[in-house]
Chain A
Amino acid sequence: MTHTLGRPDFDVIAAWVEPGHRVLDLGCGDGTLLRHLIDTRGVHGVGVEIDDANVLAAIKNNINIIQGNLERGLEVFADQAFDHVVLSRTLQTVRHTEEILREMLRVGREAVVSFPNFAYWKNLRSVLDGHMPVSEDLPYAWYDTPNVRFFTLLDFEALCAKMGLVIRERSVLDEEGNAVTGEVNFLGSLAVYRLTQAR
Protein backbone atom coordinates (compact mmCIF):
# COMPACT_ATOMS: atom_id res chain seq x y z
CA MET A 1 0.00 0.00 0.00
CA THR A 2 1.35 3.41 -0.93
CA HIS A 3 0.68 6.34 1.30
CA THR A 4 0.29 10.02 0.74
CA LEU A 5 3.65 11.73 0.92
CA GLY A 6 5.09 8.66 2.66
CA ARG A 7 3.09 9.42 5.81
CA PRO A 8 0.37 6.81 6.44
CA ASP A 9 -1.06 8.83 9.35
CA PHE A 10 -1.77 11.65 6.89
CA ASP A 11 -4.24 9.41 5.06
CA VAL A 12 -6.01 8.61 8.32
CA ILE A 13 -6.20 12.30 9.25
CA ALA A 14 -7.36 13.32 5.76
CA ALA A 15 -10.23 10.86 6.02
CA TRP A 16 -11.35 12.43 9.31
CA VAL A 17 -11.65 16.04 8.10
CA GLU A 18 -14.50 17.44 6.06
CA PRO A 19 -14.36 20.06 3.31
CA GLY A 20 -14.57 23.53 4.79
CA HIS A 21 -13.33 22.43 8.19
CA ARG A 22 -10.90 24.64 10.06
CA VAL A 23 -7.74 22.68 10.83
CA LEU A 24 -4.87 23.70 13.09
CA ASP A 25 -1.69 21.65 12.67
CA LEU A 26 0.67 21.94 15.63
CA GLY A 27 4.30 21.30 14.80
CA CYS A 28 3.35 21.38 11.13
CA GLY A 29 6.89 21.22 9.75
CA ASP A 30 7.01 22.52 6.21
CA GLY A 31 3.20 22.40 5.99
CA THR A 32 3.01 19.21 3.91
CA LEU A 33 -0.05 17.84 5.73
CA LEU A 34 -1.91 21.15 5.60
CA ARG A 35 -1.06 21.62 1.92
CA HIS A 36 -2.46 18.11 1.31
CA LEU A 37 -5.62 18.79 3.35
CA ILE A 38 -6.16 22.14 1.64
CA ASP A 39 -5.63 20.72 -1.85
CA THR A 40 -7.56 17.46 -1.44
CA ARG A 41 -10.13 18.27 1.27
CA GLY A 42 -10.68 21.98 0.86
CA VAL A 43 -10.03 22.80 4.50
CA HIS A 44 -9.01 26.17 5.92
CA GLY A 45 -5.63 25.46 7.51
CA VAL A 46 -3.27 27.11 9.96
CA GLY A 47 0.03 25.68 11.16
CA VAL A 48 2.22 26.32 14.18
CA GLU A 49 5.94 25.69 13.95
CA ILE A 50 8.97 26.79 15.93
CA ASP A 51 11.82 25.99 13.54
CA ASP A 52 13.00 28.81 11.26
CA ALA A 53 13.71 26.59 8.25
CA ASN A 54 10.27 24.97 8.54
CA VAL A 55 8.55 28.36 8.86
CA LEU A 56 10.28 29.49 5.68
CA ALA A 57 9.36 26.24 3.90
CA ALA A 58 5.72 26.57 5.03
CA ILE A 59 5.54 30.13 3.70
CA LYS A 60 6.93 28.84 0.40
CA ASN A 61 4.18 26.20 0.56
CA ASN A 62 1.66 29.06 0.84
CA ILE A 63 0.48 27.87 4.25
CA ASN A 64 -0.84 30.15 7.01
CA ILE A 65 1.99 29.57 9.45
CA ILE A 66 2.33 31.00 12.95
CA GLN A 67 5.82 30.77 14.40
CA GLY A 68 5.70 29.81 18.05
CA ASN A 69 6.55 27.38 20.80
CA LEU A 70 3.84 24.81 21.61
CA GLU A 71 5.23 24.52 25.12
CA ARG A 72 4.32 28.15 25.77
CA GLY A 73 0.66 27.56 24.94
CA LEU A 74 -1.59 28.54 22.10
CA GLU A 75 -2.53 31.99 23.38
CA VAL A 76 -2.91 33.53 19.92
CA PHE A 77 -5.84 31.18 19.23
CA ALA A 78 -9.35 31.80 20.49
CA ASP A 79 -11.48 29.17 22.20
CA GLN A 80 -13.05 26.64 19.81
CA ALA A 81 -11.61 28.38 16.75
CA PHE A 82 -10.97 25.09 14.91
CA ASP A 83 -12.80 21.90 14.04
CA HIS A 84 -9.63 19.79 14.29
CA VAL A 85 -6.37 20.44 16.06
CA VAL A 86 -3.69 18.06 14.80
CA LEU A 87 -0.59 17.03 16.72
CA SER A 88 1.16 14.63 14.36
CA ARG A 89 4.11 12.63 15.77
CA THR A 90 4.88 15.47 18.13
CA LEU A 91 3.26 14.60 21.49
CA GLN A 92 6.30 12.54 22.45
CA THR A 93 8.49 15.66 22.05
CA VAL A 94 6.33 17.83 24.30
CA ARG A 95 7.21 18.11 27.99
CA HIS A 96 3.86 19.41 29.24
CA THR A 97 1.68 16.60 27.93
CA GLU A 98 -1.55 17.31 29.80
CA GLU A 99 -1.31 21.03 29.17
CA ILE A 100 -0.95 20.65 25.40
CA LEU A 101 -3.89 18.22 25.24
CA ARG A 102 -6.04 20.65 27.22
CA GLU A 103 -4.97 23.56 25.04
CA MET A 104 -5.79 21.57 21.89
CA LEU A 105 -9.32 20.98 23.11
CA ARG A 106 -9.67 24.58 24.22
CA VAL A 107 -8.94 25.94 20.73
CA GLY A 108 -10.54 23.03 18.84
CA ARG A 109 -13.62 20.85 18.91
CA GLU A 110 -11.54 17.73 18.26
CA ALA A 111 -7.91 16.80 18.86
CA VAL A 112 -6.16 14.50 16.40
CA VAL A 113 -3.05 13.00 17.94
CA SER A 114 -0.58 10.57 16.39
CA PHE A 115 2.45 9.14 18.16
CA PRO A 116 4.89 6.22 18.00
CA ASN A 117 4.00 3.26 20.22
CA PHE A 118 6.89 2.36 22.46
CA ALA A 119 5.36 -1.09 23.16
CA TYR A 120 5.46 -2.08 19.47
CA TRP A 121 6.94 -5.58 19.48
CA LYS A 122 10.06 -4.62 17.54
CA ASN A 123 10.74 -1.85 20.04
CA LEU A 124 10.29 -4.29 22.92
CA ARG A 125 12.62 -6.79 21.26
CA SER A 126 15.19 -4.09 20.78
CA VAL A 127 15.13 -3.26 24.48
CA LEU A 128 15.29 -6.99 25.34
CA ASP A 129 18.32 -7.19 23.06
CA GLY A 130 19.84 -4.41 25.16
CA HIS A 131 19.35 -1.37 22.95
CA MET A 132 16.94 1.53 22.73
CA PRO A 133 14.70 1.04 19.69
CA VAL A 134 15.33 2.71 16.35
CA SER A 135 12.53 2.13 13.86
CA GLU A 136 10.46 3.65 11.08
CA ASP A 137 8.40 5.56 13.63
CA LEU A 138 11.17 6.07 16.22
CA PRO A 139 13.94 7.02 13.81
CA TYR A 140 16.40 8.63 16.23
CA ALA A 141 19.33 7.36 18.27
CA TRP A 142 18.94 7.81 22.02
CA TYR A 143 21.47 10.65 22.10
CA ASP A 144 19.93 12.83 19.41
CA THR A 145 16.23 12.13 19.78
CA PRO A 146 13.86 15.09 20.17
CA ASN A 147 11.53 12.72 22.04
CA VAL A 148 11.22 13.34 25.76
CA ARG A 149 8.19 11.13 26.54
CA PHE A 150 8.06 7.42 25.78
CA PHE A 151 4.65 5.82 26.12
CA THR A 152 2.34 3.18 24.74
CA LEU A 153 -1.23 3.05 23.49
CA LEU A 154 -2.35 1.77 26.88
CA ASP A 155 -0.48 4.56 28.67
CA PHE A 156 -2.05 7.19 26.44
CA GLU A 157 -5.53 5.79 26.87
CA ALA A 158 -5.06 5.75 30.63
CA LEU A 159 -4.08 9.44 30.52
CA CYS A 160 -7.15 10.25 28.42
CA ALA A 161 -9.33 8.48 30.99
CA LYS A 162 -7.64 10.37 33.83
CA MET A 163 -8.19 13.69 32.02
CA GLY A 164 -11.79 12.83 31.14
CA LEU A 165 -11.13 12.95 27.39
CA VAL A 166 -13.27 10.87 25.09
CA ILE A 167 -11.62 8.74 22.42
CA ARG A 168 -13.91 9.04 19.41
CA GLU A 169 -11.83 6.96 17.05
CA ARG A 170 -8.50 5.18 16.94
CA SER A 171 -6.42 4.00 14.01
CA VAL A 172 -3.33 1.86 14.59
CA LEU A 173 -0.72 1.25 11.89
CA ASP A 174 2.24 -1.07 11.51
CA GLU A 175 5.64 0.07 10.27
CA GLU A 176 4.49 -0.23 6.64
CA GLY A 177 1.49 1.93 7.40
CA ASN A 178 -1.07 -0.85 7.16
CA ALA A 179 -3.98 -0.93 9.58
CA VAL A 180 -3.59 -3.16 12.64
CA THR A 181 -6.79 -4.52 14.17
CA GLY A 182 -5.86 -7.03 16.88
CA GLU A 183 -3.28 -6.82 19.68
CA VAL A 184 -2.76 -3.17 18.79
CA ASN A 185 -0.50 -2.33 21.74
CA PHE A 186 1.87 -5.08 20.62
CA LEU A 187 1.54 -4.97 16.82
CA GLY A 188 1.01 -1.23 16.29
CA SER A 189 3.96 1.03 15.49
CA LEU A 190 2.01 4.27 15.13
CA ALA A 191 -1.33 5.26 16.63
CA VAL A 192 -3.73 8.03 15.57
CA TYR A 193 -6.53 9.15 17.89
CA ARG A 194 -9.53 11.47 17.68
CA LEU A 195 -10.28 13.00 21.05
CA THR A 196 -12.99 15.30 22.33
CA GLN A 197 -14.01 16.69 25.66
CA ALA A 198 -16.70 14.69 27.42
CA ARG A 199 -20.06 16.19 26.48
Chain B
Amino acid sequence: MSGQSVGAVQPQRAHFDQPLHLRSGGVLPAYDLVYETYGTLNAAKSNAILVCHALSGHHHLAGHYADQPNNIGWWDNIVGPGRPLDTDKFFIVALNNPGGCHGSTGPSSINPATGKPWGAAFPIVAVNDWVHAQARLADRLGIDTWAAVMGGSLGGMQALRWSITYPERVRHAIVIAAAPKLSAQNIAFNDVARQAILTDPDFHGGNYYEHNTRPVRGLRLARMLGHITYLSDDQMGEKFGRELRNTAFSFGFDVEFEVESYLRYQGDKFAGHFDANTYLLMTKALDYFDPAREDNGDLKATMARTKANFLIASFSTDWRFTPARSKEIVAALLAAGRNVSYAEIDLNFGHDSFLMEDAHYHGIVGAYLGNIKL
Protein backbone atom coordinates (compact mmCIF):
# COMPACT_ATOMS: atom_id res chain seq x y z
CA MET B 1 0.00 0.00 0.00
CA SER B 2 1.45 3.35 -0.97
CA GLY B 3 1.55 6.26 1.45
CA GLN B 4 0.82 5.97 5.12
CA SER B 5 -2.17 5.70 7.37
CA VAL B 6 -3.21 8.77 9.36
CA GLY B 7 -2.61 6.63 12.46
CA ALA B 8 -4.58 7.06 15.67
CA VAL B 9 -7.64 9.29 15.36
CA GLN B 10 -10.44 10.47 17.61
CA PRO B 11 -14.08 11.07 16.82
CA GLN B 12 -15.62 14.40 17.75
CA ARG B 13 -19.19 15.46 18.39
CA ALA B 14 -21.01 18.64 17.44
CA HIS B 15 -24.45 19.55 18.78
CA PHE B 16 -26.85 21.66 16.72
CA ASP B 17 -29.79 23.44 18.37
CA GLN B 18 -31.18 24.93 15.20
CA PRO B 19 -33.99 22.69 13.88
CA LEU B 20 -33.31 20.84 10.63
CA HIS B 21 -36.37 21.02 8.39
CA LEU B 22 -36.46 17.95 6.20
CA ARG B 23 -37.60 17.30 2.64
CA SER B 24 -40.21 14.87 3.99
CA GLY B 25 -41.83 17.70 5.95
CA GLY B 26 -40.45 16.31 9.19
CA VAL B 27 -38.23 18.27 11.54
CA LEU B 28 -35.25 17.33 13.65
CA PRO B 29 -35.58 19.83 16.51
CA ALA B 30 -31.93 19.39 17.48
CA TYR B 31 -29.28 16.87 16.58
CA ASP B 32 -25.74 15.69 17.13
CA LEU B 33 -23.24 14.89 14.41
CA VAL B 34 -20.17 12.77 15.09
CA TYR B 35 -17.26 13.42 12.80
CA GLU B 36 -13.55 12.92 12.34
CA THR B 37 -10.95 15.15 10.74
CA TYR B 38 -7.50 14.36 9.39
CA GLY B 39 -4.76 16.77 8.42
CA THR B 40 -4.71 20.48 9.22
CA LEU B 41 -7.05 23.21 8.01
CA ASN B 42 -4.83 25.87 6.44
CA ALA B 43 -5.03 29.56 7.36
CA ALA B 44 -7.03 30.40 4.22
CA LYS B 45 -9.38 27.47 5.01
CA SER B 46 -9.09 26.48 1.36
CA ASN B 47 -7.87 22.90 1.72
CA ALA B 48 -10.90 21.12 3.17
CA ILE B 49 -12.35 17.98 1.57
CA LEU B 50 -15.63 16.45 2.71
CA VAL B 51 -15.95 12.69 2.21
CA CYS B 52 -19.56 11.48 2.35
CA HIS B 53 -20.42 7.96 3.35
CA ALA B 54 -22.62 5.43 1.57
CA LEU B 55 -25.36 3.21 2.87
CA SER B 56 -23.54 1.53 5.74
CA GLY B 57 -20.68 3.98 6.28
CA HIS B 58 -19.97 6.48 9.01
CA HIS B 59 -17.55 9.08 10.34
CA HIS B 60 -14.65 6.68 10.88
CA LEU B 61 -13.19 7.13 7.41
CA ALA B 62 -9.51 6.56 8.10
CA GLY B 63 -6.95 5.62 10.72
CA HIS B 64 -7.68 3.63 13.87
CA TYR B 65 -8.60 4.31 17.47
CA ALA B 66 -5.75 4.20 19.97
CA ASP B 67 -7.55 1.61 22.09
CA GLN B 68 -8.88 -0.33 19.07
CA PRO B 69 -5.95 -0.86 16.68
CA ASN B 70 -8.03 -3.16 14.47
CA ASN B 71 -10.91 -0.70 14.09
CA ILE B 72 -9.66 0.76 10.82
CA GLY B 73 -11.60 3.41 8.88
CA TRP B 74 -13.84 2.22 6.04
CA TRP B 75 -11.83 4.01 3.32
CA ASP B 76 -8.46 4.06 5.05
CA ASN B 77 -6.57 3.00 1.91
CA ILE B 78 -7.19 6.35 0.16
CA VAL B 79 -6.51 8.77 3.07
CA GLY B 80 -3.18 9.70 4.60
CA PRO B 81 0.23 11.21 3.89
CA GLY B 82 1.23 10.25 0.34
CA ARG B 83 -2.19 8.78 -0.45
CA PRO B 84 -4.68 10.30 -2.94
CA LEU B 85 -6.47 12.22 -0.16
CA ASP B 86 -3.13 13.49 1.04
CA THR B 87 -3.36 14.76 4.61
CA ASP B 88 -0.11 16.69 4.11
CA LYS B 89 -2.06 18.89 1.68
CA PHE B 90 -5.72 18.54 2.60
CA PHE B 91 -7.91 18.73 5.67
CA ILE B 92 -10.32 15.83 5.42
CA VAL B 93 -13.73 15.79 7.12
CA ALA B 94 -15.99 12.73 7.46
CA LEU B 95 -19.18 12.50 9.45
CA ASN B 96 -22.01 10.15 10.29
CA ASN B 97 -25.18 11.45 8.64
CA PRO B 98 -28.38 12.21 10.57
CA GLY B 99 -30.43 9.04 10.68
CA GLY B 100 -27.27 7.00 11.09
CA CYS B 101 -26.45 4.54 13.83
CA HIS B 102 -22.85 5.36 14.66
CA GLY B 103 -23.31 8.25 17.06
CA SER B 104 -25.10 10.97 15.09
CA THR B 105 -28.75 11.50 15.92
CA GLY B 106 -30.75 8.66 14.45
CA PRO B 107 -33.67 6.32 15.14
CA SER B 108 -31.91 4.69 18.09
CA SER B 109 -31.24 8.09 19.74
CA ILE B 110 -33.51 9.38 22.49
CA ASN B 111 -36.33 11.59 21.20
CA PRO B 112 -36.34 14.51 23.65
CA ALA B 113 -40.12 14.88 23.25
CA THR B 114 -40.81 11.39 24.60
CA GLY B 115 -37.68 10.37 26.47
CA LYS B 116 -37.72 7.16 24.44
CA PRO B 117 -35.79 6.11 21.31
CA TRP B 118 -37.11 7.75 18.15
CA GLY B 119 -37.76 4.42 16.46
CA ALA B 120 -40.53 4.65 13.88
CA ALA B 121 -41.08 8.33 14.74
CA PHE B 122 -37.72 9.32 13.27
CA PRO B 123 -38.52 11.37 10.16
CA ILE B 124 -37.53 10.23 6.66
CA VAL B 125 -34.30 11.97 5.69
CA ALA B 126 -33.27 12.79 2.13
CA VAL B 127 -29.84 13.26 0.56
CA ASN B 128 -30.41 17.01 0.45
CA ASP B 129 -31.16 17.01 4.20
CA TRP B 130 -27.77 15.45 4.81
CA VAL B 131 -26.17 18.10 2.62
CA HIS B 132 -27.81 20.85 4.68
CA ALA B 133 -26.64 19.18 7.92
CA GLN B 134 -23.13 18.83 6.48
CA ALA B 135 -23.19 22.53 5.52
CA ARG B 136 -23.89 23.43 9.14
CA LEU B 137 -20.94 21.30 10.23
CA ALA B 138 -18.83 23.14 7.64
CA ASP B 139 -19.99 26.45 9.15
CA ARG B 140 -19.06 25.19 12.59
CA LEU B 141 -15.58 24.23 11.36
CA GLY B 142 -15.15 27.63 9.65
CA ILE B 143 -15.13 26.10 6.17
CA ASP B 144 -16.87 28.40 3.70
CA THR B 145 -15.89 26.51 0.55
CA TRP B 146 -14.83 22.90 0.17
CA ALA B 147 -11.82 22.27 -2.05
CA ALA B 148 -13.72 19.08 -2.89
CA VAL B 149 -16.73 17.07 -1.84
CA MET B 150 -16.32 13.41 -2.61
CA GLY B 151 -18.02 10.07 -2.20
CA GLY B 152 -18.81 6.69 -3.69
CA SER B 153 -22.28 5.27 -4.34
CA LEU B 154 -24.75 7.08 -2.04
CA GLY B 155 -21.76 9.18 -0.96
CA GLY B 156 -21.25 10.23 -4.58
CA MET B 157 -24.88 11.30 -4.73
CA GLN B 158 -24.24 13.58 -1.76
CA ALA B 159 -21.25 15.10 -3.58
CA LEU B 160 -23.45 15.68 -6.63
CA ARG B 161 -26.21 17.15 -4.46
CA TRP B 162 -23.71 19.49 -2.78
CA SER B 163 -22.73 20.91 -6.17
CA ILE B 164 -26.40 21.66 -6.89
CA THR B 165 -27.56 22.88 -3.48
CA TYR B 166 -24.48 24.93 -2.59
CA PRO B 167 -22.80 25.75 -5.92
CA GLU B 168 -20.71 28.51 -4.34
CA ARG B 169 -19.35 26.24 -1.64
CA VAL B 170 -17.93 23.39 -3.76
CA ARG B 171 -14.88 23.86 -5.99
CA HIS B 172 -14.66 20.22 -7.06
CA ALA B 173 -17.09 17.32 -6.84
CA ILE B 174 -15.77 13.77 -7.09
CA VAL B 175 -18.65 11.43 -7.82
CA ILE B 176 -17.71 7.73 -7.87
CA ALA B 177 -19.88 4.71 -8.74
CA ALA B 178 -23.06 6.77 -8.49
CA ALA B 179 -26.14 7.54 -10.59
CA PRO B 180 -28.33 10.61 -11.13
CA LYS B 181 -31.30 8.62 -9.77
CA LEU B 182 -32.16 5.01 -9.06
CA SER B 183 -33.55 2.70 -11.73
CA ALA B 184 -36.66 0.59 -11.17
CA GLN B 185 -34.39 -2.40 -10.59
CA ASN B 186 -32.38 -0.49 -7.95
CA ILE B 187 -35.58 0.48 -6.14
CA ALA B 188 -36.87 -3.08 -6.41
CA PHE B 189 -33.78 -4.46 -4.68
CA ASN B 190 -34.14 -1.82 -1.96
CA ASP B 191 -37.77 -2.72 -1.44
CA VAL B 192 -37.02 -6.42 -1.02
CA ALA B 193 -34.42 -5.45 1.58
CA ARG B 194 -36.94 -3.25 3.37
CA GLN B 195 -39.61 -5.95 3.24
CA ALA B 196 -37.19 -8.37 4.90
CA ILE B 197 -36.88 -5.93 7.82
CA LEU B 198 -40.49 -4.74 7.94
CA THR B 199 -41.89 -8.28 8.04
CA ASP B 200 -39.50 -9.51 10.72
CA PRO B 201 -41.67 -10.24 13.81
CA ASP B 202 -39.02 -8.54 15.93
CA PHE B 203 -39.45 -5.25 14.04
CA HIS B 204 -42.42 -4.13 16.15
CA GLY B 205 -43.33 -1.35 13.77
CA GLY B 206 -39.86 0.15 14.18
CA ASN B 207 -40.10 0.44 17.97
CA TYR B 208 -38.15 -2.72 18.72
CA TYR B 209 -35.86 -0.88 21.14
CA GLU B 210 -38.71 -0.80 23.68
CA HIS B 211 -39.10 -4.55 23.30
CA ASN B 212 -35.44 -5.16 23.97
CA THR B 213 -35.05 -6.93 20.68
CA ARG B 214 -33.85 -6.22 17.14
CA PRO B 215 -35.06 -7.47 13.74
CA VAL B 216 -31.81 -9.32 13.21
CA ARG B 217 -33.23 -11.88 10.78
CA GLY B 218 -34.67 -9.24 8.47
CA LEU B 219 -31.59 -7.05 8.59
CA ARG B 220 -29.41 -10.09 7.91
CA LEU B 221 -31.44 -10.97 4.82
CA ALA B 222 -31.40 -7.36 3.65
CA ARG B 223 -27.63 -7.29 3.88
CA MET B 224 -27.21 -10.63 2.14
CA LEU B 225 -29.31 -9.37 -0.75
CA GLY B 226 -27.49 -6.05 -0.84
CA HIS B 227 -24.13 -7.77 -0.75
CA ILE B 228 -24.93 -9.79 -3.87
CA THR B 229 -25.61 -6.54 -5.73
CA TYR B 230 -22.31 -5.03 -4.58
CA LEU B 231 -20.22 -7.83 -6.07
CA SER B 232 -19.75 -8.86 -9.69
CA ASP B 233 -20.74 -12.23 -11.10
CA ASP B 234 -17.14 -12.76 -12.25
CA GLN B 235 -15.73 -11.95 -8.86
CA MET B 236 -18.13 -14.30 -7.08
CA GLY B 237 -17.27 -16.97 -9.61
CA GLU B 238 -13.56 -16.51 -9.04
CA LYS B 239 -13.85 -16.28 -5.28
CA PHE B 240 -16.32 -19.08 -4.63
CA GLY B 241 -17.26 -20.82 -7.86
CA ARG B 242 -19.29 -23.84 -6.86
CA GLU B 243 -16.89 -24.78 -4.08
CA LEU B 244 -18.44 -26.85 -1.33
CA ARG B 245 -17.56 -26.68 2.34
CA ASN B 246 -17.52 -30.47 2.40
CA THR B 247 -16.56 -32.82 -0.38
CA ALA B 248 -20.03 -34.06 -1.33
CA PHE B 249 -23.56 -32.67 -1.57
CA SER B 250 -25.49 -32.96 1.67
CA PHE B 251 -28.90 -32.71 -0.01
CA GLY B 252 -30.16 -30.41 2.74
CA PHE B 253 -30.62 -26.71 3.50
CA ASP B 254 -27.62 -26.11 5.73
CA VAL B 255 -24.67 -24.14 4.48
CA GLU B 256 -23.20 -26.15 1.68
CA PHE B 257 -21.69 -23.91 -0.99
CA GLU B 258 -18.91 -21.54 0.02
CA VAL B 259 -20.85 -18.58 -1.35
CA GLU B 260 -23.67 -19.36 1.07
CA SER B 261 -21.22 -19.46 3.94
CA TYR B 262 -19.76 -16.13 2.89
CA LEU B 263 -23.10 -14.38 2.51
CA ARG B 264 -24.43 -15.68 5.82
CA TYR B 265 -21.25 -14.53 7.53
CA GLN B 266 -21.57 -11.06 5.97
CA GLY B 267 -25.26 -10.93 6.94
CA ASP B 268 -24.57 -11.99 10.54
CA LYS B 269 -21.68 -9.57 10.93
CA PHE B 270 -23.71 -6.64 9.65
CA ALA B 271 -26.92 -7.49 11.51
CA GLY B 272 -24.94 -7.78 14.71
CA HIS B 273 -24.16 -4.08 14.87
CA PHE B 274 -26.20 -2.08 12.34
CA ASP B 275 -29.57 -0.53 13.14
CA ALA B 276 -32.47 -1.74 11.01
CA ASN B 277 -34.29 1.62 11.10
CA THR B 278 -31.16 3.30 9.75
CA TYR B 279 -31.02 0.73 6.96
CA LEU B 280 -34.62 1.58 6.05
CA LEU B 281 -33.87 5.32 6.05
CA MET B 282 -30.73 4.97 3.93
CA THR B 283 -32.51 2.91 1.28
CA LYS B 284 -35.36 5.43 1.12
CA ALA B 285 -32.87 8.27 0.74
CA LEU B 286 -31.46 6.38 -2.24
CA ASP B 287 -34.90 5.81 -3.76
CA TYR B 288 -35.95 9.45 -3.40
CA PHE B 289 -32.67 10.84 -4.80
CA ASP B 290 -33.46 12.50 -8.13
CA PRO B 291 -32.18 16.09 -8.24
CA ALA B 292 -33.39 16.60 -11.83
CA ARG B 293 -36.95 16.26 -10.53
CA GLU B 294 -36.64 19.94 -9.57
CA ASP B 295 -36.11 20.70 -13.27
CA ASN B 296 -38.87 18.48 -14.66
CA GLY B 297 -36.40 15.68 -15.24
CA ASP B 298 -33.96 17.82 -17.24
CA LEU B 299 -30.62 16.82 -15.70
CA LYS B 300 -28.79 19.28 -17.97
CA ALA B 301 -30.77 22.15 -16.46
CA THR B 302 -29.93 20.85 -12.98
CA MET B 303 -26.24 20.60 -13.79
CA ALA B 304 -26.34 24.11 -15.27
CA ARG B 305 -26.99 25.33 -11.74
CA THR B 306 -23.64 23.94 -10.54
CA LYS B 307 -20.32 25.78 -10.52
CA ALA B 308 -17.89 23.07 -9.48
CA ASN B 309 -15.47 21.10 -11.61
CA PHE B 310 -16.24 17.41 -11.68
CA LEU B 311 -14.47 14.08 -11.68
CA ILE B 312 -16.89 11.25 -12.40
CA ALA B 313 -15.70 7.66 -12.12
CA SER B 314 -17.39 4.32 -12.66
CA PHE B 315 -16.35 0.68 -12.63
CA SER B 316 -16.64 -1.73 -15.54
CA THR B 317 -18.11 -4.57 -13.43
CA ASP B 318 -20.52 -2.45 -11.37
CA TRP B 319 -24.02 -3.60 -12.28
CA ARG B 320 -25.73 -1.75 -9.44
CA PHE B 321 -24.74 1.68 -10.79
CA THR B 322 -23.30 0.86 -14.20
CA PRO B 323 -20.89 3.05 -16.18
CA ALA B 324 -23.89 4.06 -18.32
CA ARG B 325 -25.48 5.68 -15.23
CA SER B 326 -22.33 7.73 -14.58
CA LYS B 327 -22.28 8.73 -18.25
CA GLU B 328 -25.76 10.23 -17.84
CA ILE B 329 -24.20 12.63 -15.33
CA VAL B 330 -21.23 13.24 -17.62
CA ALA B 331 -23.46 13.99 -20.62
CA ALA B 332 -25.54 16.47 -18.61
CA LEU B 333 -22.42 18.22 -17.29
CA LEU B 334 -20.93 18.45 -20.78
CA ALA B 335 -24.18 19.83 -22.17
CA ALA B 336 -24.21 22.37 -19.36
CA GLY B 337 -20.66 23.42 -20.26
CA ARG B 338 -19.08 22.31 -16.99
CA ASN B 339 -15.52 21.13 -16.59
CA VAL B 340 -15.74 17.37 -16.22
CA SER B 341 -13.46 14.39 -16.50
CA TYR B 342 -14.71 10.82 -16.60
CA ALA B 343 -12.79 7.63 -15.91
CA GLU B 344 -14.22 4.16 -16.46
CA ILE B 345 -12.09 1.94 -14.31
CA ASP B 346 -11.59 -1.71 -15.10
CA LEU B 347 -11.83 -3.40 -11.71
CA ASN B 348 -13.36 -6.75 -10.96
CA PHE B 349 -15.11 -6.05 -7.65
CA GLY B 350 -18.47 -4.78 -8.89
CA HIS B 351 -19.99 -1.86 -7.02
CA ASP B 352 -17.60 -2.44 -4.12
CA SER B 353 -14.70 -1.57 -6.44
CA PHE B 354 -14.87 2.01 -5.20
CA LEU B 355 -13.50 0.91 -1.82
CA MET B 356 -10.64 -1.13 -3.26
CA GLU B 357 -7.03 -0.15 -3.46
CA ASP B 358 -5.92 -0.11 -7.08
CA ALA B 359 -2.95 1.77 -8.48
CA HIS B 360 -4.80 3.12 -11.55
CA TYR B 361 -7.98 4.06 -9.67
CA HIS B 362 -6.09 5.77 -6.88
CA GLY B 363 -3.79 7.32 -9.49
CA ILE B 364 -6.79 8.98 -11.16
CA VAL B 365 -8.17 10.35 -7.88
CA GLY B 366 -4.72 11.42 -6.71
CA ALA B 367 -3.88 13.14 -10.00
CA TYR B 368 -7.19 15.02 -9.98
CA LEU B 369 -6.76 16.16 -6.38
CA GLY B 370 -3.10 16.94 -7.04
CA ASN B 371 -4.15 19.63 -9.55
CA ILE B 372 -6.35 21.44 -7.02
CA LYS B 373 -4.72 24.77 -6.20
CA LEU B 374 -5.18 25.89 -2.62
Contact = CB atoms under 8 A, between A and B. Distances in A.
A78 B367 contact: no
A76 B364 contact: no
B344 interface: yes
Contacts of A97: none
A56 B311 CA distance: 12
A77 interface: yes
A124 interface: no
Interface residues of A, number: 20
Nearest to A24: B334
Nearest to A46: B334
A62 to B, nearest CB: 5
A93 to B, nearest CB: 20
A70 interface: no
Contacts of B342: 65-68, 76
Contact of B344 (A60, A67, A77): A67
B358 to A, nearest CB: 11
Given A55-B364, A56-B363, A75-B331, A64 B339 contact: yes
A59 B331 contact: no
A183 interface: no
Interface string A94-105: 000000000000
Nearest to A79: B335
Given A65-B341, A66-B341, A67-B344, A77 B331 contact: yes
30 contacts: A46-B334, A52-B345, A52-B346, A52-B360, A55-B343, A55-B364, A58-B341, A59-B341, A59-B343, A59-B368, A59-B371, A60-B371, A63-B341, A64-B339, A64-B340, A64-B341, A65-B341, A65-B343, A66-B334, A66-B340, A66-B341, A67-B342, A67-B344, A68-B342, A68-B344, A75-B327, A76-B330, A76-B331, A76-B342, A78-B331
Closest CB pairs A-B (n = 4): A76-B331, A59-B367, A60-B367, A66-B342
Interface of A: 44, 46, 52, 55-56, 58-60, 62-68, 75-78, 81
